[in-house]
Amino acid sequence: MEILKMRVTLAQLEAFFWTAQLGSAQRAAQHLNLAQPTLSLRLKDLRGALGHDVLERTGRGSRLTAEGRALLPRVTAIMAELRGIGGADPARDVAGPVRVGLAEGFAVTCLPPLLAGLLEDHPALQPEWVVSTSTTLEQALLRDTLDLAVLLNPIGDERLRLTPLGGQPTSWVAPAAWDLATPVSPRDLWSLPVISNPPPSAMHRQIMRWFGGSGLTPTRLSICTSVAVIAELVAGGIGAGLLPMPMAARYVAEGTMQVLTAEPRVENGLLVMAYRTGVDDPKVLAVTRTIARVMQAIDYVES
What's the rounded Cα separation, in Å, for the pair 110 and 104? Answer: 10
Question: For position 7, what pLDDT does the model report?
Answer: 86
Question: For position 5, what pLDDT does the model report?
Answer: 59
**Under a CB-based contact definition with an 8 Å cutoff, are residues 173 and 182 in contact?**
no
What's the rounded Cα separation, in Å, for the pair 6 and 12? Answer: 12
Exposed/middle/buried for residue 226 (C-beta within 10 Å: 0-12, 13-18, 19+): middle
What's the rounded Cα separation, in Å, for the pair 94 and 148? Answer: 16
Question: For position 2, what pLDDT does the model report?
Answer: 42
Query: CATH top-level class for 10-88?
Result: mainly alpha
What's the rounded Cα separation, in Å, for the pair 294 and 303? Answer: 15
Same fold, 92-167+270-298 and 170-267: yes
Question: For position 23, what pLDDT does the model report?
Answer: 79
**Under a CB-based contact definition with an 8 Å cutoff, are residues 52 and 70 in contact?**
no
Query: CATH top-level class for 170-267?
Result: alpha beta
CATH 3.40.190.10 fits 92-167+270-298, yes or no: yes
Q: How far is CA 78 from CA 42, 83, 293, in A?
A: 17, 9, 27
DSSP for residue 147: S
Question: For position 3, what pLDDT does the model report?
Answer: 45
**Domain assignments of the chain as residue spans, ordered by start:** 10-88, 92-167+270-298, 170-267
Question: For position 18, what pLDDT does the model report?
Answer: 85
Q: Tell me the backbone φ, ψ of residue 54, rounded to 5 degrees.
A: -110, -10
**What's the gap between Cα 256 and its chain centre?**
31
Using alpha carbons only, give the angle 64, 65, 68 rounded to the nearest 5 degrees.
70
**Under a CB-based contact definition with an 8 Å cutoff, are residues 100 and 127 in contact?**
yes
Q: Which amino acid is at 170?
A: T
Residue ranges in the chain modelled with pLDDT below 50: 1-4
Question: For position 1, what pLDDT does the model report?
Answer: 39
